[in-house]
Structure 1
Amino acid sequence: MPSTTTTLGAGELRDLRRVFDHLACHVERTLLNRNLLAKNDRYARLQNFIENPQAASPVQNAEGADISKYQAPNELKLLQEEISDLKLTEKKIRDDVHKKISIRDLDAALKSLGRVCTKKELEYMIWEVDENLDQCVDWEEFQLMFERNTTDQTGLEPFELFNIVQFMTYDEDFKGHITEDDTMSTLFARHGRENLELQMNKLFGDQLKSAGGEGILTLEQYLRAVSVRQVKSKDIEYTVTTGSMIKQTKLSETV
């Protein structure tokens, strides 16, 4: 069991938790929220129909027939109960201390950020941090992975999932791109004022506003930027054997 102590600051830990909560049970929550959105829309249309039966557009029942103004109040009550049940389910998922990130969750979340991975790539990202070998990532494993990478002085820590998670800590609304401002506070805390400009240049390159760029990086651009740095400083060699993967590395630095 990973240690409950942490080397992360309060802000960084809060961002990390936000990313974990977004990834864990992502598929289930996405379907739930989609269903909730549809029912809320139907609820609003029913309510409008009850208040203005002559002017409002008709609302259909499950069979496709128009609901009368006499049926609408009962339909609204049933719909209200369904919405309450969905919200309760969503809260249970959100508050579940045992929730985990599955391969399907990681796949769906990355696709929403514009990145498509093969099944093998997804399995490897989970595998490299899966301490208890349950093919999922829990909060303790997630936090441990992040801490090990941010404090690594040996270059031996796996970084595939870490690179994605680091991007997502910068990307507060999970919109699939980050700005210079999104990254500045973390880079300042990690590298200090004297190295901030150097780190920003290494990360954004010609995308920096001061270099004539837009000051924005997509997930793909970010991963290319950090991968170039890691390859240059590591000399990575992967050897796939039966049931194991050996990684030979040299010293790296964390972005």
Structure 2
Amino acid sequence: MPAVKPVVKLLQHTGNPEQTVAVAAKLCYSDATIEELAQGLTEESTAKFIKRLASMGHASPVEHASFTFGIEGVSRAFLAQITRHRIASFSVKSQRYVSATEKFNYIVPPAIAELGDDAVKEFEEQMETMRCWYADWQERLGGKGEKSNEDARFVLPNASETKMVLTMNARELLHFFNLRCCYRAQWEIREVAWQMLKLVSEVAPNLFANAGPNCLGGVCPEGPKCCGNQALVKQMKSEMNK
């Protein structure tokens, strides 16, 4: 029954995502064929045009590039947050079809870990207690199987690990990073967001050159709720862009 941490992998993405976006955008302003537009693009001209799109605020062509991630080591609390981003596709590990009796992983919040070994031990004991509650209800409801799992799971905590495959287009990712890379976002989804941003920046650096929280572009818009971490955020982004 181990504690786990977030792990994100980029499983798949649109081939030549930046060129795809550039072709889609140029098509709006040209009577050339799509093949002619693609052949006329170099790496340098594509990068230049992507930056121009961003400055113009012409965002619809960015939707033609999509990215699929595998995400593990996250909590059911995380699931409740990320599914609020509705312009996305999710496939999630089921608590109905997958029993938690033998393999019950969970997430230990950093704030609890920082309290020391005794606090972590207490938390782990509480997780084990809930796993036992689950196993007891599972048995009383008919043994292992989806019928008993679907009701026994009601005693499982938000700390329970889940896994998912997630697909977003680049425009939605920019919006997601804007909100979730911010230090006012909850720690777990923020950590996942930064991992995702690092991965997509490696394959589409121009598309995501300015991706991240609002404070990267100037003054934090949160007013009195500002986290005060603007310098740290800019340093993290600068290191990512190297």
TM range (shorter): under 0.3
Normalising by the residue count of structure 2, what TM-score does the alignment of the two structures yield?
0.26
Q: Please state which structure has a larger fraction of its residues in helix.
A: 1
Quick one: higher RCO (CA 8 Å, sep 6+), 1 or 2?
2
Q: Please state which structure has a larger fraction of its residues in strand.
A: 2
